[in-house]
Chains A and B, each alone.
Chain A
Amino acid sequence: MKYVDEFRDPKKAKFLINDINLLVEQIDICKQRPLQIMEVCGGHTHTIFRYGIEQMLPDTIEMIHGPGCPVCVLPMGRVDDCIALAEHPNVIFTTFGDAMRVPGSKKSLLQAKAEGADIRMIYSPLDALDIAKENPDKQVIFFAIGFETTMPSTALTVLAAEKAGIKNFSLFCNHITIVPTIKAILDSPELLLDGFVGPGHVSMVIGNKPYEFISKHYKKPLVVAGFEPLDILQSIWMLLKQITEGRCEVENQYQRIVPEEGNKEALDAINKVFELREFFEWRGLGSIDHSGIRVTEAYAQYDAEKIFSVPNLKIADPKACQCGEVLKGVIKPWECKVFGTACTPEIPLGALMVSSEGACAAYFNYGRIDLTKLIAEREAKAEVST
């Protein structure tokens, strides 16, 4: 398939892997411990597992799967709020499909739908606007979720609703922004990271400048990367190249999509409709300052949180859950106490087991992990410690 297969060429992959192997030999850290590279985006995590990239890389490179899966990091309390809105008798609740299975404290949207709530899966927020036009006697709420990647389309939908004079459409805004979160991870005392594979589609909107503090202040290299398997390999290669040459920069591997300055129209739409919240709760990471987005006062008539009352309860993550440590790269997904036992993609306990872009779900679904061996080891360890 044109414009797809070129980015999945196994011959080029071999070539890059050879070069990567040569480069790690020149890196001193690799002689003591594996080099830790975090891919921030859930989309990258998905590609890494889908194409089996981890097994192609040398053992001296360890991929840490970052917080960039917006579905995964949504706290339980917000899911409960979604369900409360969806169960409102006069509401049609619209959502992207991957949010359907995220567990709230009592149920998921999928369960609420089965119980009779009018919840509809859509592929674009504009579909929600069409539903609003077709159902003038109902309130249509769009479950707005995602980083800067999806923010412009939500913002433009609000502007389109305003232009068309549609009054029965609103957002339940759960957009989040990635930069404060990367900063929170970098400030974590347990951190060992040596570099970042940076978000591709977020950068398409915000450009490369917002990451400069990572290279300047925290002295970590970052390469903005595309989502095809060769993109990922090339980005890792570029990171290694920076490390061996003693450079520490923000580089752009995804030049075919990401302009240095980002997308002005998209940013304008975002700035018109949205503003930062003082803080926002992340599943597994806790509250992070200025990481959440809400609808501005000027567009309050499109803000479901203003139109309807939501319970807005804070629900603590399950105690056994070690998502936070996995997100920071302190432990590997399978080292979590409940991985594969109390927490599976079917009945996820923690955030990272929820979506196929979550690190734990990816390991569980795609990874070659001998679960029985793992559980036996874990039990043996527990016996020794008691």
Chain B
Amino acid sequence: MSASADKIKRQSNIRCRSGKVRGDIITLAHGSGGKAMRDLIDDVFLGSFANDYLTPLEDQARLVMHDFNHKSDRLAFTTDSYVVDPLFFPGGNIGTLAVNGTVNDLAVGGAKPLYLSCSCIIEEGFSVESLRTIASAMQAAAEKAGVSIVTGDTKVVPRGAADKLFINTAGIGIIPEKINIAADNAKAGDVIISNGYIGDHGAAIVDARGDFALENTIESDCQALNGLIERMIDVCPEIHCLRDATRGGIATVLNEFAQASDLCMVLDETSIPIREDVRGMCEILGLDPLYLANEGKLIAIVPGKHAESLLTAMRQHPAGQDSAIIGEVKASPNGVVVLSTFFGGERIVDMLLGEQLPRIC
């Protein structure tokens, strides 16, 4: 190649992509579809997520059919948008939430999560460094959960048209044969299991907002549950119901089970694991921990005869060390959740009305 041809080639390479974002903040140019956007994708997103499906940067990820066939007979497909405020909080950030949340939505259906998408809506003026931190946290969370981020999209909106950063992730997984987990599957006599302390995420977000100047060290429980759930299904393939208790807390999930199965969920207040810090915050602010959001907690309804072996297995997994039986399923009064209070009385735990706390995930 002649010297001039070489120069032209180098120049055209430079013209195509620099692979590096210039400047410290996101501008409207980064969402324009042009060179700046390409730089942003190369630098921040490919820089973090790079894998064989994503790197060609086609308009779609081309997934190999063969990967879906391992003794599975159904695909699981889900989507979720994340708008948490603040973006960074003790125990995680919007990125870890966006990966773990979608992984968990797949896993609670009994699916093995495989692939995620990542769509970002960024407010003009957002810090590139923060975006980079969030993207690399997403990749770390994805690796930990054993999934790949294989496709994505970036939009930048003018200042004020969105609050800093919103992320949408969709996910695909495969459901093994004979696994049938559903909200209407509960049976009278089943037991209710939680994989640990409830309310940590909601409490951590309240803390991180700093509106109340409370001195706390509550961390979000943000974590992927697919590993734990895989182990649970190994031990007890006939898990009846399984959901992650995100917005609305365990109260909401149990109400969904009670209504779908037309049975009564009876909770024993003394056996529900709640951290002292979280209890204290709830006392002060008049919140109910049963309604506080979680981002790494599941509620499982399982046949009583498997409860002990399942609990033992769960406690051996890092995501389930504090697992506990928190109640049982009864035939009546049907369609409601009843709490046996440690004080000795009983009360109904209803669906949440309105919003206990906005923008927690």
Q: Please, which residues of chain A bring their CB within 8 A of the CB of B347?
A: 49-52, 366-367
Instruction: Please report the C-alpha to C-alpha distance between residue A101 and residue B280 in the assembled complex, in whole angstroms.
Output: 26
Evaluate contact between B346 and A14: CB separation under 8 angstroms. no
| Inter-chain contact A368/B338, CB cutoff 8 Å | yes
Q: Using Cβ atoms and an 8 Å threshold, which residues of chain B touch A4?
A: 283
Closest beta carbon of chain B to A143's beta carbon, Å: 18
Chain A interface size band reads: 20 to 34
A110 interface hit (Cβ, 8 Å): yes
Q: Which of A52, A56, A101, A364 contacts B354 (CB 8 A)?
A: A101
Is there contact, CB below 8 Å, between A1 and B283?
A: yes
Instruction: Report Cα–Cα, A101/B355, bound state, in Å.
Output: 11
**Cβ-neighbour of A1 out of B211, B280, B342, B348 (below 8 A):** B280
Nearest-CB distance from B237 to chain A (Å)? 36
Given known A110-B354, A345-B353, A346-B353, contact A52–B344 (CB-CB < 8 A) = yes
Q: Tell me, yes or no, whether A314 is within 8 Å of chain B by CB.
A: no
**A window 7-28: CB within 8 A of B:** 8, 10, 13-14, 17
- Residue A365 CB within 8 A of the other chain: yes
The answer, among A56, A101, A110, A345, for a CB contact under 8 Å with B345, is A56
Partner of A55, one of B212, B285, B345: B345
Contacts of A55 in B (CB 8 A): 345-346
- Which of B285, B333, B338, B347 has the largest number of chain A CB atoms within 10 A? B347
Interface SS of chain A:
helix
Q: Which of B276, B279, B348 gathers the greatest number of chain A CB atoms within 10 Å?
A: B348
B333→A51 contact, CB < 8 A: no
* Residue in contact with B344 in the complex, picked from A1, A10, A54, A346, CB distance below 8 Å: A10
Interface residues in B107-151 by Cβ distance below 8 A to A read none
State the Cβ distance, A136 to closest chain B Cβ, in Å: 22
Name the residue on A nearest B270 (C-beta).
Answer: A10
Q: Is B341 an interface residue (CB 8 A)?
A: yes
Name the one of B212, B338, B343, B350 contacting A8, with C-beta atoms under 8 angstroms: B343
Q: Note all chain B residues with C-beta closer than 8 A to A110.
A: 354
Cross-chain contact A365 with B348 (CB below 8 angstroms): yes
- Minimum CB–CB distance from B216 to chain A (whole Å) comes to 14
CB distance from A227 to the nearest CB of B (A): 11
**A8 touching B279 in the complex, CB below 8 Å, given contacts A52-B347, A368-B333:** no
Q: From residue A107, how far is it (CB to closest CB) to chain B in Å?
A: 14
Give 1 or 0 for each of A346-380: 1 = CB within 8 Å of chain B CB.
10000000000000000011111010000000000
B346's contact among A8, A13, A229, A368, by CB below 8 Å, is which? A368
From B344, B348, B353, A14 is in contact (CB under 8 Å) with B344
Number of chain B residues close to chain A: CB under 8 A: 20
Contacts of A1 in B (CB 8 A): 276, 279-280, 283
Most buried by A among B343, B346, B354: B343
User: Please, how many angstroms separate the alpha-carbon atoms of A239 and B283 in the complex?
Assistant: 28
* Cβ-neighbour of A229 out of B211, B285, B343 (below 8 A): B343
**CB contact under 8 A between A56 and B344, given known A1-B276, A110-B354, A365-B350:** yes
Contact for A52 among B285, B343, B350, CB less than 8 A? B343
Which partner residue on chain B sits nearest A127 by CB separation?
Answer: B211
* A51 CB contacts on chain B under 8 angstroms: 341, 343, 345, 347
Judge whether B345 and A53 touch: CB under 8 Å.
yes
B171-202 interface code vs A (CB 8 A; 1 in, 0 out):
00000000000000000000000000000000
B338 / chain A contacts, CB cutoff of 8 Å: 368
Evaluate contact between B333 and A370: CB separation under 8 angstroms: yes
Interface string of B323-361 (1 = CB under 8 A from A): 000000000010000100111111110100110000000
Bound CA span A49–B339, Å: 11
In the bound complex, residues from chain A placing their C-beta under 8 Å from that of B346 are: 52, 55, 368
Q: Which residues of B are found within 8 Å of A8, using beta-carbon distances?
A: 342-343
Mask, B76-108, CB within 8 Å of A = 1, is: 000000000000000000000000000000000
Do B353 and A52 have beta carbons less than 8 Å apart?
no
**Residues of chain B with a CB closer than 8 A to A53's CB:** 343, 345
Q: A10 near B343 (CB under 8 angstroms)?
A: yes
A368 vs B347: C-alpha distance in the bound complex, in angstroms?
7
Q: Which residues from chain A contact B280 at a C-beta distance below 8 Å?
A: 1
Question: What's the nearest-Cβ distance from chain A to residue B203, in Å?
Answer: 14
Closest-by-CB residue of B relative to A366 is B347
Q: Is the CB of B348 within 8 A of A366?
A: yes
Minimum C-beta distance from B204 to chain A (A)? 19
Nearest CB of chain A from residue B255's CB, rounded to whole Å: 12
Q: How far is the CA of A367 from the CA of B280 in the complex (A)?
A: 26
Chain B residues closer than 8 Å to A365, beta-carbon distance: 348, 350
A346 nearest CB neighbor, chain B only: B353
- 23 example contacts (A-B, Cβ-Cβ < 8 A) are as follows A1-B279, A1-B280, A10-B342, A10-B343, A13-B344, A49-B347, A50-B347, A51-B343, A52-B341, A52-B343, A52-B345, A53-B345, A54-B345, A55-B346, A56-B344, A56-B345, A123-B211, A123-B212, A346-B353, A365-B348, A366-B347, A367-B347, A368-B338
* Chain A contacts to B: CB under 8 angstroms: 1, 4, 8, 10, 13-14, 17, 49-56, 101, 110, 123, 229, 345-346, 364-368, 370
Question: Beyond the given A365-B350, A368-B346, could you list 7 further A-B residue pairs with CB under 8 A, ordered by the A residue number?
Answer: A1-B276, A1-B283, A49-B347, A52-B341, A123-B211, A345-B353, A366-B348
